[in-house]
Structure 1
């Protein structure tokens, strides 16, 4: 079985704790579902947030939906002037029998603009 990295991102409407937790949980669930993953398949998840988000750690959402034995870490993105605002990104490390070509990266809400090549939003 191979180790795979799966990308995902979502954009928030506002920097409010409950909204951040809701969107972050939605993103985690969407990545797991799109790639047929269970908690025991996960190695770790790295979350990043743009500098304009500070109401909560996205990892809290992971814990709330049951990822209590998966290492989760949060970091801040670099402050690039033209970057899309209010974005939570994640990289899931997992064991999977899927080839790289079969991995489904997930971009939700305004974050589809980050990777139109992966979302069909070209």
Structure 2
């Protein structure tokens, strides 16, 4: 099992933007890592306290991830954190080595991991 990380941000705390941006992130992670949805063990979403108009997991359901266990949580309200940020951790059953995994940080979240910034 491997973890695949990603994050994105939204400009506004609006349901449609949250769902759209998370769908974009999940789709990019699936493409970059050639993920077969059947191989996903679980997905954990977190969002900053200023993102609460929609559950990020709705995006996964909209993509057809109906059998994947999904969990959402809230980040701490850190004064040094990235505002309007949604993070994801996909737990994937795979034989790929860790170095073969592509982690993606989109929009304002690129600052979280500038060392591996692979923005699409």
Aligned partner of residue 91 in structure 1, secondary structure = strand
Alignment equivalent of 1:100, drawn from 62, 78, 98? 98
Tell me whether 1:32 sits opposite 2:17 in the alignment: no
Displacement of 1:97: 2.0
Q: For the residues of structure 2 that align with 1:108 and 1:102, how far apart are their CA atoms?
A: 19
How many Å separate the matches in 2 of 1:57 and 1:120?
A: 25
Superposition misfits of 4+ residues, deviation over 2 angstroms: none
Q: Who is 1:42 aligned against?
A: 40
Instruction: Report 1:1-122 matches (<5 A).
Output: 3-119=1-117
TM-score by length of 1: 0.94
TM-score, normalisation: structure 2: 0.96
CA distance in 2, matches of 1:63, 1:44: 13
CA RMSD of aligned residues (A): 1.1
Structure 1: stretches of 5+ with no match in the other structure: none
Deviation at 1:41, TM superposition (A): 1.1
Corresponding residue pairs, total: 119
Structure 2 unmatched runs, 5+: none
Aligned-residue offset at 1:120: 5.7
